[in-house]
Chains A and B, each alone.
Chain A
Amino acid sequence: MSVENPRPGVPGDDVAAALLERFDSAVFHDSHGQAVVYLDRDDWRDAATFLRDEQEFTQCVDVTAVDHLVDDTRLVVDGVEPERFEIVANFLSHERVRRIRTITQVPADAPTVASLTEVFPGVNFAEREVQDLFGVVFEGHPDPSRLLMPDDWVGHPLRKDDPPSHVPVTFKEDPGPR
């Protein structure tokens, strides 16, 4: 299944190889036997369209994000310029029974990425969740409102600089025997 590729990290996965062929920015990574392709932010939606139209991928099962603010020991793949946020999309092809994961880097000062809702409408909730909890804006999303937190909530709780607990633990006095 291996395909000739001039760049390092020759994928044994033909879908990943096709992505590398098509997009110059793509970098392949074998993550514990799973095919992962790191993409440039500009290719984000095009890659999804490519997977849907030319590789028979039927669902983008999940979109999520990772905040790498504090971990210095994070996994860095050769050829990828690490940024604070990573957006992760998992694709599934029911026809070919295949999965592939694409990851793109999103900087903290301009946290935007193209929305995949035009290509895979099912990522609607997943992208809203990421936008709600991480503050990464998906451009072109049909309903960019908060999904989980109240509408008047300030901040994005899953960011690493957002404190985990807003409520200090209070110990009340023992009411004594009743």
Chain B
Amino acid sequence: MSDGARDTDATVTRDELHEVEDEFAREVAASEKREDARLLHQTDEADQEMGDRSMTEVVLTGGPWPDDDDTMIVNFGPQHPSTHGVLRVMVELDGERVLRVKPVIGYLHTGMEKTAEQLTYVQGGTNVTRMDYASPLSNELVYALAVERLLDLEVPERATWIRMLMAELNRMASHLLFQATNGLDLGALSMMLYGWREREMVLRFIEKVTGLRMNTNYIRPGGVAADLHDGWEDDALELCDLVETNLPDYEALLVENPIWLERMVGVGVLSTEEALSVNASGPILRSTGFGWDLRKAEPYLAYDEVDFDVVYAQNGDCFDRFRIRLYEIYESIKIVRQCVEKMPGGDYRADDLKVTPPPRARINESMEALIHHFKLFTEGFRVPAGETYVAIESPRGEIGCYIVSDGSGKPARLHIRGPSLNNLQAMEPMLKDTIIADAVAVISSVDPILGEVDR
């Protein structure tokens, strides 16, 4: 009996069975010399069994076999190690083939946009930084830029460059985290150790500058929280050298690894049209051959004064998304080196007593400075009524901040356009008509950070 007949029909008429047997006999005859005694024996036995029965219909037991329209729904998550937190994915399967994908999100919904309405603009940074926790400085940056636009506030040049330096270091940390988790998801467990090794180096620098490894609240409206420490140039250059020396290990381990290529190349292919239609941005859009990077397209900070390349690829598969993030680390290193070279002097925050706190030394001797300091950290500052949307390129794509102010000290509405939220929509075209074993590779290559998906 061939497998094909069993797969489709629950009931098989006797004639059909004989047909199948005849066909089998013919096949055996065709492979003349090759006498498979075991198979022939089985056929004989089956013949005997059938011959004894007088029924016209043979019912195969063991439950009905699925019809063509019978599909299975498999649930991933929300507590699953390869969902990067608490993503839940419903996958509709026909056998191994994926028919539909539906991400179910909200398991990390923190109500941050509601909380933001109760925090002053000074406190707001602590809130937004916890959204995309793999790249907190991007969140702070977009928030600070939006508030400054509402205030029509100019920040000093040094603050701009410090912001750019920190944003790029954070991009490195975020992409290194991706290398670690992507390897972990696909079974390349040593990548986890390598990724963390380099990420720790970056985080140590960030900790030295900001005081915290993550959720730093370092970039604030009006500038940054503190100046860079003495000798930061050497630290930054040493960091760049170390990471640059170690990154070829990644390429040796993964880019030329045949198992890795099997898992990644040609998996989860996305076209540019699909990527645009599902609002994808960042590395996912760039992997489809569309070199769109807000740092180049709509230069903010001082990105038009530094030299770097936009990394993009043509195939739109998981391997390209992985490669883009790997090679973007090199570009970030390039930018960090130029920041070290070109860092201007001057103040690290705007000299506006209503927005930024006075220098610590002045508080001790000036009553006015003390009052300003007190007012700023209790009431915050007022922002004229208005609304604005600012978008920057986070490691995951376009992160946007929409702020509505009603003239008071707290935003009437703060909305973050999360790149991961929109990139998750790309999972459906990526996974459609692939097999279920590729689902983990695809989810991992989207690199969603659930904190910013759900906010």
User: Interface of A with B (CB < 8 Å)?
Assistant: 31-34, 36, 58-62, 64, 66-68, 71-75, 88, 90, 94, 97, 99, 101, 120-126, 129, 133, 146-150, 157-158, 164
Contacts and interface: CB of A to CB of B under 8 A. Distances in A.
A34 B276 CA distance: 23
Contacts of A147: 105-106
B111 A31 contact: no
B276 A59 contact: yes
Contact of A125 (B118, B149, B150, B425): B425
B98 interface: no
A88 B118 CA distance: 22
Specify the main secondary structure of chain B where it touches its partner.
Answer: mixed
A32 B406 contact: no
Interface of B: 105-106, 109, 111, 113-115, 117-118, 149-150, 152, 276-281, 290, 292, 297-298, 385-389, 391, 398, 400, 402, 404-408, 412-413, 415, 417, 421-422, 424-425, 454-455
B1 to A, nearest CB: 44
A134 to B, nearest CB: 10
B359 to A, nearest CB: 29
B429 to A, nearest CB: 10
| The 10 residue pairs across chains A and B that have the minimum distance between CB atoms | A122-B279, A71-B406, A148-B106, A62-B417, A148-B109, A75-B385, A73-B407, A64-B415, A66-B413, A73-B406
B113 A122 contact: no
B279 A60 contact: yes
Contacts of B400: 61-62, 90
Nearest to B419: A61
A122 B106 contact: no
A32 B152 CA distance: 8
Given A62-B400, A122-B276, 12 more contacts: A31-B388, A34-B388, A60-B279, A64-B417, A66-B412, A75-B404, A90-B402, A120-B279, A122-B425, A146-B106, A148-B455, A157-B111
Contacts of B455: 148
Contact of B389 (A67, A90, A120): A90
B274 to A, nearest CB: 10
B388 A123 contact: no
13 contacts: A34-B388, A61-B281, A62-B389, A64-B402, A67-B413, A71-B408, A88-B402, A90-B389, A122-B278, A122-B279, A126-B422, A133-B113, A164-B118
